[in-house]
Each structure stands twice: as structure tokens, then as C-alpha cells.
Amino acid sequence: MSESAAPMQSSRPGRSRALIAISATYGAGGAVVGQLVAEALGVPFLGHTFTSEQMEQAHREGGAANPSAAYLQHRVRGDLATDDDAARSALIELESRSFFEESDEEVRALLTTGGVVVGRAGPYLLRDDPAVLRVLLDGPRDARVAAGAALEGVDAATAERRQAAHDASRVGVARVHYGVDPNELRHYVVVLDTTVLGFDTAAEMIVAAARALHARTASR
């Protein structure tokens, strides 16, 4: 996106700027698209708590810094069973940890300031506010793996491993900790295939949708 815009005002009392919550599967460009949208609308950007690449790096350097990172680290390495019972058991153990609570507080703070959040269960945490634009970025698996490899500068095997880890963890965390299936389209206002549209076009479409939603909610 080549042009930036003045900060867009929100219809929510106490929040002066727009709020967009993006969920993205691996390779769909959540962070890239989210940053483009934030820049275009002049709002803060809140990204993922950690990435699959960071999990691999943590493992190489001797271990993860928190229980959630340790769980995802196993996912990335592929040495944690992927059946539902194993995922549920691992995630239930994390529920009492402060990690999720701290992240959730950072997301909810955007209800006052406005912004763009990618990941962090944003679409589900903010679903009760009709002025929040909830977005899913997705695409066919093979196309996303290719996009992820290009974006991260890794080979196909590494991208495939990261795709499996990211997508499995995305579903597991959402189901166990937030009680939702992130693949259900009812959670989103906008669903885009970035492997077809590209990141720039997807960002432009989200900006347009955010402005349209603002105009609609402001008129009520």
C-alpha cells in the first residue's frame, strides 16, 4: 500500500480510532498485512506473542522462556503428539498461567486506544463489540507453505513443519483456552485468501472494509 491515511475515528465511546482483529493461518501473511493496515489507518499494531521461527530459535538456544512457548516449541519440533487428547492435556496445564491473561489484557486495551491486533485470539476476545472488524486470512495449504517459505526465507521442509505447528497450535489454543474453533467462519466479518490476492491487495480490502464498518456503526 503506497498511501497512508489520517487516523480513522471509531464509533465506540472512549475509543478514538478503528480496531481490526486479524486471525491468520501459517503463510497467510498476518503480520505483514496487519502492519500495512495499521500504517494505512494510522493506528497501533499488536503482533503475535511469538512465531514458529522464534520457537525454533529458543530451542537452539537451550529452551523456551514460558510454558506456552515450551508447548509450541514441541509442536515446531514435531515431538509432541498431535492427537486431540495430547493437545488438550498440554493446553489445560497452561490455563492457570499468567501468560494468556497478560496477552488478553493487552488485546482488550485496544478497545480504548484502537489498533490492529494479529493473533492473540483477537477476533474472539473482541467479538462482542460490533465496531471491531474481525478478519480471517487463509488459503490452500500448499500455497500457504510456499508463501511462508518465501516470506521467511526457508526451505519447503522447514515451512511445512512450521505450517503444521502453527496451524495445530492456533486451533488447540483457541479451542481449549477460549472455547472456540478458529476455523468457523461465523467468527469473522471478512475472510480473504491472501495466496490469491497478495498481501498488498488484502490490506487494501481490509482498510476499505474497516472504513465501511465505521461508517455503518457510526450512523446507528
- Percent of the chain at pLDDT > 70 equals 68
How long, in residues, is the chain?
Answer: 220
pLDDT at 76: 46
Residue from 183, 169, 161 nearest 91 by CA: 169
Residue 174 identity: A
pLDDT interval class at 8 (50, 70, 90): very low
Residue 188 identity: Y
* For range 139-161, the mean pLDDT: 94
Residue 5 reports pLDDT greater than 50: no
Other CB atoms within 10 Å distance of the CB of residue 4: 9
Domain boundaries, the chain: 19-218
pLDDT tens digits for 198-214? 999 999 999 999 988 87
- Return the CATH architecture of domain 19-218: 3-Layer(aba) Sandwich (3.40)
Lowest mean pLDDT among 79-93, 140-154, 171-185: 79-93
Residue from 141, 159, 142 nearest 150 by CA: 159
pLDDT interval class at 106 (50, 70, 90): confident
Other CB atoms within 10 Å distance of the CB of residue 112: 13
The predicted model scores a pTM of: 0.76
